Amino acid sequence: MEEMNFEETMEKLEQIANTLEKGDLSLEESLVKFEEGMKLSKKCNEILENAEKKITILLSKEGELKEEEFKPEE
Amino acid sequence: MEYNVVTVSKLNTYIKEKFEEDEFLNNILVKGEISNFKHHYTGHMYFTLKDENSLIKCVMFKGYTDKLNFIPKDGMKVIILGTVSVFERDGVYQIYAKGMKQEGIGDLHAKYEELKAKLEKEGLFSEAHKKKIPFMPKCIGVLTSNTGAVIRDIINVATRRNPNVYIKLLPVPVQGAGAAEKIVKAIETMNEQKLADVIIIARGGGSLEDLWPFNEEIVARAIYASKLPIISAVGHETDFTISDFVSDLRAPTPSAAAELAVPRIEEIEQKLLTYKNRYKNALLKKLELINLRYQKCMASKVFKDPMQRINEQYMILDKFVKNLEYKIQSKLKDERTKMIKKVAKLDALSPLKTLTRGYTVTQYKGKVINSSKTLKLGDEIELTFSDGKNNAKIM
């Protein structure tokens, strides 16, 4: 997953879907593609689920940037 | 000491004369901000010119207003050429404006066009140089003021599209002296420390002067040099800054920038679900197809009645054997007939037949004798008859 970014993964998922739907693969090849697609889409789901909401502000303190939680004023 | 009593009119006339005697007041340039602007139906303009601490009334008569190349409005910073005099009726002094221009604006416009042309020629706006905005950035860096509506709008739009969005705000001043340098520094910092996957540079609407930091050459060059892709969202939809041209993507507003940087998570999840379903359906279809092929195979005669084909082959074999037998028989018969004919022929040529008619074959010492001269008296000869042999003696 690290070598492929989210966008590339999504493209790959589309590719797999098209190949599978074409139906000219052998059953074994189809199964391999199916598993690959399911694995990749699961990984994408995991990335989405594991993301955490973070709104921060970078403040310069003693010459270094410190990341702190940020709440915009209402 | 005795005072001369004067009327109000006389006083105001006196004051007016004092004003008019003053060379400085007769031909003056004043800068300030317009407020209370009224364009009277007679064509004259009435307004107040002010700065932080003070204000003065102004009037511009129709004859002069026609020469203006812009429409004055409240809040506009202008320089006025005119005369300060007194309006005797009301007892107020005011500027009688003869000319007016927007402060700095002409220069800024020229500078903007000049820089734009220069950078465009240098290739800073080239499409080929523009980086792709990542589809799903893990972290979005925002360079803008930490107060005000802009950052709030960006956070609101971004979190609405992706509830788990990661936004890093690096606060920068977005107008005034020194803002450009701070913006440049912020872009460099984001790049050096790789603080985000994409940067949004944003500012709300404002006058050309307010937006000026985003038209500074150093900002343009910093954006061009940035390794991280940059979305520029400066001012309103109708405002175009140099930053907009040089950035990788221009958003019409800060909210739009958030939309461009953050994908709608619901849509992605829906898409992922669709893919999974497509895979399942494709595989099911494949299995169905294979099953169908299997059924078709099993329905074929070979599997349904395997002996039939064997029996068929037997029958063919039998026929073949029979045919072969017949052919051999007939050949045999032919040969036999031919042989009988030949035997008959042979029989006709055989000397035995001649012997039966009374002839004999005479042999002397095993040799057939066909002349009487070869024999002499006393030779013993052998006579062969059709039914046997006898010995005889020549006498």
What mean pLDDT is predicted for residues B34-48?
93
Cα–Cα distance for residue pair B314/B355, rounded to 1 Å: 61
Contact B73/A at CB under 8 A: no
Rounded CA Rg of chain A: 20
Answer yes or no: do B72 and B145 share one domain: no
User: Quick check: B168 and A58 CB within 8 A?
Assistant: yes
Greatest mean pLDDT among B46-50, B75-79, B376-380: B46-50
Is B3 within the bounds of a domain? no
Mean pLDDT of B250-271: 93
Whole-angstrom Cα distance, residue A72 to residue B65?
46
Two tokens at B152?
Answer: 């709030």
* pLDDT, tens only, A7-65: 889 999 999 999 988 888 888 888 999 999 999 999 889 888 888 899 999 998 888 88
Write the pLDDT tens digit of every residue in B120-172: 999 999 999 999 999 889 999 999 999 989 999 999 999 999 999 999 999 99
Which residues of A are less than 8 Å from B279 in CB distance?
A: 16-17, 20, 33-34, 37-38
* Yes or no, beta carbons of A23 and B289 under 8 Å apart: yes
Within 236-265 of B, beta carbons closer than 8 Å to A belong to 265
* DSSP, residue by residue, A26-69: -HHHHHHHHHHHHHHHHHHHHHHHH---EEEEEEEETTEEEEEE
Model pLDDT, residue A1: 39
B19 domain-assigned: yes
Residue B1 domain-assigned? no
- Cβ-based contacts under 8 A for chains A and B: 109
CA distance B36 to B75: 9
Question: pLDDT tens, B194-251?
Answer: 999 999 999 998 888 889 999 999 999 999 999 999 999 998 888 889 999 999 999 9
Residue to substitute from B278, B292, B293, interface A, most A β-carbons within 10 A: B278
CB atoms within 10 A of CB B85: 18
Task: Give the whole-angstrom CA distance, residue B282 versus residue B276.
Answer: 10
Report the alpha-carbon angle B190-A55-A53, nearest 5. 120
Cross-chain CB nearest to B171 (options A34, A38, A57):
A57
Q: B265 and A48: CB-CB below 8 Å?
A: yes
Closest CA to B272 of A2, A16, A29: A16
Looking at residue B50, its pLDDT comes to 93
Question: Is the ipTM above a cut-off of 0.90?
Answer: no
Instruction: Map out the domains of chain A as residue ranges.
Output: 6-69
Tally of domains in chain B: 5
Q: How far is CA A15 from the centre of its chain?
A: 16
Convert the pLDDT of each residue in B283-317 to its tens digit: 898 888 888 888 888 888 777 777 887 888 899 99
Rounded CA separation A47/A42 (Å) = 9
Q: Which pair of tokens denotes residue B229?
A: 């892709």
Q: Outline where chain B has alpha helix (H).
A: 8-21, 23-26, 62-65, 105-122, 149-161, 179-192, 217-225, 242-246, 254-261, 265-299, 301-304, 306-349, 351-356
- Are B246 and B161 members of one domain? yes
Of B167, B283, B290, the CB nearest to A20: B283
B211 in any annotated domain:
yes
**Residue from B29, B212, B185, B186 nearest B115 by CA:** B212
For testing the chain A interface, which of B172, B276, B288, B293 should be mutated: the one with the most A CBs within 10 Å? B276
Asked if residue B388 has pLDDT above 80, the reply is yes
Establish if B63 belongs to a structural domain. Answer: yes
Q: What are the tokens at B75?
A: 């809040």
Q: What is the rounded average pLDDT for all residues in chain B? A: 90
Residue B2 lies in a domain: no
Same domain, B259 and B271: no
Residue B310: give the domain boundaries. Answer: 304-346
* Structure tokens that stand for A62 in this block: 């003693």
Q: Is residue B217 located within the same domain as residue B313?
A: no
